[in-house]
């Protein structure tokens, strides 16, 4: 019964999981892919950088009538800052303005319409909005099921000698059918831990509330701070706010600035600490009063409760950032696995059906 469920559920959902996996593999190096496809984003790495306030002003002047919502600072010299505005009418995502560290606007694009972000949309919601987003989440649950049911079906049984060796090796001298059968089993087994991590983290990104509630049943979870702001007469500029935020975590690298949407909102800064287990993901947070320049609250993922740490790990695990460069390549390889499993599984099913069809004809 489990074998039939594994087989037919795989035939029905295999293309969806293969598509999610391949697009996820492309996104492991999302920024590199975007800059490779749009080389105009890159600039002279030796050019003198301007202030973040100047960067925001340049982006603001390029799209008059809109207010900036987020600033993603340049990752390294020569790579652009990204300033996000609210979406234009009919656009699938926010308006993005790429500004060089020297303050020159290089691109004005709608997220979801340029190639790298189109792949991101395809992976995130199948280009189908909220419904597609939930379908992707259900696909993650199915992938977890295939991992567990596949492990059960793979597990060697009986007492015959060499059963474990046969289950862990790929035979190339027993015909095409046997080769694809072994490839389906062994590839799935060896990458099973990575595939389960990717599947669970993907589900947590689609259904964060449900996963957070599940984690909270076994581990302590702290509610995120929501510090209020008392409106003042004159707001500080972004450089002053960032300078204040750096005092909370000296040596940390700024990865994102969420700008206030209203007079009662604080600045929300994201940092990556030197001791963080990931290289780019900014899980460290600082809330700064936009008028007084005081730190209202902080969140340190390295000292947070166990449940919060579990949730903080999900995104950097999903894209491999938590495992360094080797981890990114491992995640890239695991993203290709669903396509391989679907292709080999479909071949095995098709080969078994051919003799049955012949018998029915005779």
pLDDT digits (tens, 9 = 90+) for 124-151: 999 999 999 999 999 999 999 999 999 9
What pLDDT score does 233 carry?
67
Residue 334 backbone dihedrals phi, psi, to 5 degrees: -65, -30
Q: Is residue 108 assigned to a domain?
A: yes
Q: Where are any strands of DSSP class E within 102-248?
A: 105-110
3-state helix, strand, coil in the chain (%, to 5): 55, 10, 35
Q: Is residue 63 assigned to a domain?
A: yes
- Radius of gyration of the chain measured on its C-alpha atoms: 25
Q: Is residue 7 assigned to a domain?
A: no
CA 250 – CA 39 distance, rounded (Å): 33
Higher pLDDT, 53 or 174: 53
Cα atoms found within 13 Å of the Cα of residue 344, Cβ hemisphere only = 19
Displacement of CA 87 from its chain's centroid (Å): 21
Mean pLDDT of 116-127: 96
Torsion over CA: 211, 215, 217, 221 (sign): negative
What pLDDT score does 355 carry?
62
Residue 116 backbone dihedrals phi, psi, to 5 degrees: -65, -40
The CA-atom distances, in angstroms, between 227 and each of 285, 286, 308, 351 are 12, 11, 18, 62
Contact 320, 327 (CB under 8 A): yes
For residue 13, pLDDT over 70 is answered with yes
For residue 162, pLDDT over 80 is answered with no
Contacts of the segment 345-351: beta carbons below 8 A, 24+ positions apart: 345/7, 345/10, 345/11, 345/14, 345/184, 346/11, 346/14, 347/180, 348/177, 348/180, 348/181, 348/184, 349/7, 349/11, 351/177
Q: Is residue 50 assigned to a domain?
A: yes
Mean pLDDT of 308-322: 94
Residue in 202, 33, 188 with CA at minimum distance from that of residue 123: 202
pLDDT band, very low/low/confident/very high, at 362 (cuts 50, 70, 90): low
Mean pLDDT of 67-82: 95
Mean pLDDT of 83-98: 95
What pLDDT score does 166 carry?
81
Q: Is residue 94 assigned to a domain?
A: yes
Place of tokens 């990556």: 272
Mean pLDDT of 114-132: 96
Q: Is residue 59 assigned to a domain?
A: yes
What pLDDT score does 279 carry?
86
Cα atoms found within 13 Å of the Cα of residue 192, Cβ hemisphere only = 17
For residue 357, pLDDT over 70 is answered with no
Q: Residues with Cβ < 8 Å from 166, sequence gap 6 or more?
A: 156
What pLDDT score does 173 carry?
75
| pTM of the predicted model as reported, rounded to 2 decimal places | 0.89
Mean pLDDT of 49-77: 95
CA 35 – CA 46 distance, rounded (Å): 18
For residue 77, pLDDT over 70 is answered with yes
Contact 215, 197 (CB under 8 A): no
Residue in 31, 190, 43 with CA at minimum distance from that of residue 96: 31
Residue in 129, 44, 60 with CA at minimum distance from that of residue 91: 129
Number of structural domains in the chain = 1
The CA-atom distances, in angstroms, between 222 and each of 91, 171, 212, 215, 301 are 36, 51, 11, 12, 11
CA angle, 186 as apex, 181 and 191 as ends, to 5°?
135
Per-residue DSSP letter, 321: G
Q: Is residue 356 assigned to a domain?
A: no
Domain that holds residue 76: 39-113
Higher pLDDT, 1 or 241: 241
Mean pLDDT for the chain overall: 92
Q: Is residue 348 assigned to a domain?
A: no
CA 315 – CA 279 distance, rounded (Å): 12
CA 338 – CA 19 distance, rounded (Å): 8
Both tokens of residue 259? 């700008």
For residue 202, pLDDT over 90 is answered with yes
CA angle, 235 as apex, 89 and 297 as ends, to 5°?
90
Mean pLDDT of 280-288: 93
For residue 360, pLDDT over 70 is answered with no
Per-residue DSSP letter, 166: H
């Amino acid at each position: 019964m489990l074998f039939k469920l594994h087989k037919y559920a795989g035939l029905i959902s295999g293309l969806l999981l293969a598509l999610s996996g391949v697009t996820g593999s492309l996104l492991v190096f999302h920024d590199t892919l975007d800059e490779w496809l749009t080389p105009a984003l890159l600039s002279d790495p030796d050019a003198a950088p301007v202030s973040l306030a100047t960067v925001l002003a340049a982006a603001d002047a390029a799209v008059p009538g809109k207010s900036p919502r987020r600033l993603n600072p340049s990752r390294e010299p020569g790579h652009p800052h990204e300033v996000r505005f609210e979406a234009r009418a009919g656009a699938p995502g926010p308006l993005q303005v790429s500004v060089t560290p020297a303050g020159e606007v290089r691109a004005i694009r709608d997220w979801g319409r340029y190639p790298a972000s189109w792949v991101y949309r395809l992976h995130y919601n199948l280009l189908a909005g909220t419904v597609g987003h939930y379908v992707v989440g259900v696909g993650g649950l199915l992938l977890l099921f295939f991992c567990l049911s596949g492990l059960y079906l793979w597990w060697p049984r009986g007492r015959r000698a060499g059963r474990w060796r046969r289950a862990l090796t790929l035979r190339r001298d027993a015909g095409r059918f046997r080769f694809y059968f072994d490839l389906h089993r062994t590839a799935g087994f060896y990458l099973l831990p990575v595939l389960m991590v990717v599947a669970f983290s993907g589900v947590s990104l689609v259904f964060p509330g449900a996963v957070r509630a599940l984690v909270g049943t076994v581990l302590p979870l702290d509610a995120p701070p929501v510090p209020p702001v008392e409106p003042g007469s004159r707001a500080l500029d972004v450089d002053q706010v960032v300078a204040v935020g750096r005092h909370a975590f000296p040596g940390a690298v700024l990865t994102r600035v969420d700008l206030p949407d209203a007079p009662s909102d604080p600045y929300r800064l994201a940092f990556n600490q030197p001791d963080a287990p990931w290289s780019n993901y900014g899980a460290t947070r600082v809330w700064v009063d936009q008028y007084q320049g005081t730190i209202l609250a902080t969140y340190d993922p390295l000292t947070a409760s166990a449940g919060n740490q579990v949730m903080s790990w999900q995104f950097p695990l999903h894209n491999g950032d938590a495992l360094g460069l080797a981890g990114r390549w491992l995640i890239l390889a695991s993203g290709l696995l669903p396509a391989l499993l679907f292709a080999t599984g479909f071949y095995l099913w098709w080969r078994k059906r051919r003799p049955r069809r012949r018998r029915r004809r005779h």
